[in-house]
Each structure stands twice: as C-alpha cells, then as structure tokens.
Amino acid sequence: MRESTEATLGRLSIGAIDRIEALTVRLPFVKPFTISSATWTCKEALLLRIDGDGITGWGECVADPDPYYASETTSTAHHIIKDFLVPLLDPGITLAELERRFRRVRGHGMAKATIENALIDRIAKREGRPLHELLGYRRRPIPSGISIGIKETTEELIDAVGEAVATGYHRVKMKIKRGRDIEMVSAVRERFPDLPLMVDANGDYSLQDAEHLRQLDRFNLTMIEQPLSYSDIYEHSILQRQLATPLCLDESIHDLADARAAIALGSCRIINIKQGRVGGLLEALRIADFAVAHDVPVWSGGMDETGIGRAVNIHLQTAPAFSIPGDTSETRLYFHEDIVEPPVELDERGFIAVPRGAGIGVRINNEILKKVTLQTERLR
C-alpha cells in the first residue's frame, strides 16, 4: 500500500459502536462446486453487523463450515471474533490502532477481515463515500473471470467453459486434481485454442509430481494456482524452477510476510489475493503493492461469497495493482437469490460495474436475509 494511503486509512476512526451481531446464513448453490479437497452444495457464512450512530456496517467471513480449503472455519472465526477480537474494539480507536491490537491474536486472518470489513463499510457510509473511494482508488470497469469446479465428465466441463466464453468472461480457471488433469485441460485447450486459461489444484500435488505437472507447460496456461500443499512456500520454489508456466499462490499466502518469502524464494510469479483470507483490505493492499513493486502481478480471488463479500472484492479491484481478471463472477452462477441487491452482472464486454452507493454500495434484502439466517447472536 502506498505510504499516503496507509497513513490516511490508518488515521480513520472506527467511530461509535452501539451493537455487534453475528449471523450465520446458509444459501443453497445453483449447482455444487467441487475442488480437489471438497464439494460444497451451499454457502454457509458468518456475517457481522456493526451498528453505531444509526449507521450499519456489514462484514462477511470467507471461512467455510469445514477446514477443507483453510484451517479457519465459521466456528473458529465465531469463537475468535466473539472471545478475542470484539473485546479489543473500543469506540473511536483508529484503524491503525485496531490492526495493532489485532496483531496479538496470532493468525485467524479470516476472523480479523470480517471485523475490519464491517468497520470500513461503516466508516465509508459515515463519510458518504463508496468503499473504493475511501481506499483511494477511482472507479473503473472490473474485468471478470470465472472459476469452474471439477466436473464429472469432459462434456460437462466443455459445456461450462463454452457458456463462460459466450457470457464474456475474460479468463477461465478450471479446477484440477490428481487423475483429473492433463486429459481435461487438453480437451478444453483443443476446443478453445485462444482462451486465456488457467488451472487451480488447491494443493493436491506433491514435488514428486513435478514431471507429471510439466505436461501442463504445453497448454499455454496463464498460471497454475496452488499445485502443492496449502501450507507450502519452499517446495513451490523448487517446482517453479522446473516449469515454464507461472505458478500462483493462494492458500499459502496469509499475510505480507508470506508474500515476501514467496517472492524472495521465487515460489510463484503471480499471487491470488483474497482480502478475506489475509486479514482484510489493508493487508491485501500492502501485499498487492509489495508484489507489484517486485514485478509479481496480483489478482483478486473469491470464496463464493454472498453479495456482501463479493462487493468488497469488486471495490478492492479498482486498485491498479490488480492487473489480472479475478474470480468475481455473476451472482446468478452461485445463487438463485442473494441477500443483497442488485446482483453482480456482466456487461456485454464482460466487465462488472463498481456499486455507486456509500460503503460497499449494495442493499441488504431483509426478507431474504431472514429466510436464510440460521442463527443470530448479539456480541455487544
């Protein structure tokens, strides 16, 4: 993050806090989503609502109910938020002070991001400014990419890719795993020779698979995301030296220190930044600026968020450092009905318009929210 941005944001006061509420919601997916380590049929998420001076801020935790993508879960996030992070919130402290206090809590970036997001939404609404403007960036159309899960058959996969291309997505990511890789990538590449295409293994391979993974080099992929373990940085540096295709790290990057280590070791040539994974918007911007200064481009990943988290990711991508289309796709791919309005839609050229309202700039549909809420708990 530019020093001026860091200072400006750091000085903002979190303001009044009258009430904090945690909600657990469950939204059925339009279709199941499969990665190498999990299949999800619905989005179960922890939401945080922070009220103060009549202004409401919303934050969405990107953790899943299970630890199959990351070690944090909705339950661990709820625990950490309720018992360790909320007690650190004093009205009127600055965002810089908030981050300083949060550092005592080791890890739990997803839990921290939930609170940070809700507070920043509330601050932006208080100032009557859209989130991207508060972060210091101008509106721009956001190019959209799509992440396609592992399919039962090659035909299903080709259909999904074809639909994505017809809709206008700027690049397609396909999930792979051991035994469901070369053949499927080959089929997609043959059918779509010029498509910007990448793969994401969610850590399914080991270094012993290096020779096997080298076969991917012939498909002109823009990158291979997280081929090795969710926690590894070192072995990716060995693998990267054996592959022509750029590696991209997702799971392994929890904060700026991880990004520095990965870049210094040559573990990746691209980074997938999920603000909800790295502790929030401020750390995401620090990683983005550090990476870009070291010639490592970044893009914004997604966690199948509801419209709350999706809106945050859209605002973040106005930062010029985000130079590659992200995993922010149209709402209709995930949900029949979402808890916010309006839904994310692509224009005829495959771009997303940044919401214009104050804060995250989308409205909560209370009727739908009520319908999908499993549990509500007052934390303050």
- Number of shown-chain residues binding ligand OSB (CB under 6 A): 12
200 binds Mg ion (CB under 5 A): yes
What is the number of the residue whose Cβ is closest to ligand OSB?
302
DSSP state of 85: I
Please name the amino acid found at residue 26. Answer: R
Cα 166 to Cα 30, 161, 170, 199, 348: the distances in Å are 19, 9, 11, 20, 10
Q: Which does 20 bind (CB under 5 to 8 A by kind): ligand OSB, Mg ion, none?
A: none
**Which one of 36, 74, 147, 306 is in contact with ligand OSB (CB under 6 A)?**
147
* DSSP H stretches of helix in the chain: 3-11, 74-80, 95-102, 109-126, 131-135, 154-167, 182-191, 210-213, 234-242, 256-265, 281-293, 307-316, 366-372
Interaction of residue 64 with Mg ion, rule CB under 5 A? no
250 is an interface residue for ligand OSB by CB under 6 A: yes
Told to check if 361 binds ligand OSB by CB under 6 A, we report no
The catalytic residue among 43, 173, 175, 177 is 175
Using CB under 6 A as the binding rule, whether residue 309 contacts ligand OSB is answered as no
Say whether 173 is catalytic.
Answer: no
Which of Mg ion, ligand OSB, none lies near 302, with the C-beta cut-off 5 to 8 A by kind?
Answer: ligand OSB
Render 240-255 in DSSP notation, one character per residue: HHH-SSPEEESTT--S
- Least separation, in Å, of the C-beta of 254 and ligand OSB? 14
**DSSP classification of residue 76:** H
The one segment of 39-47, 97-105, 119-127, 192-200 that binds Mg ion by CB under 5 A: 192-200
Task: State how far the Cα of 94 lies from the Cα of 258, in Å rounded to an integer.
Answer: 25
Window 27-46: residues binding ligand OSB (CB under 6 A): 35
d(CA 368, CA 323): 35
The correct pick among 114, 117, 202, 300 for binding ligand OSB (CB under 6 A) is 202
From candidates 72, 200, 283, 338, binder to ligand OSB by CB under 6 A: 200
Q: List residues near Mg ion by CB under 5 A.
A: 200, 225, 250
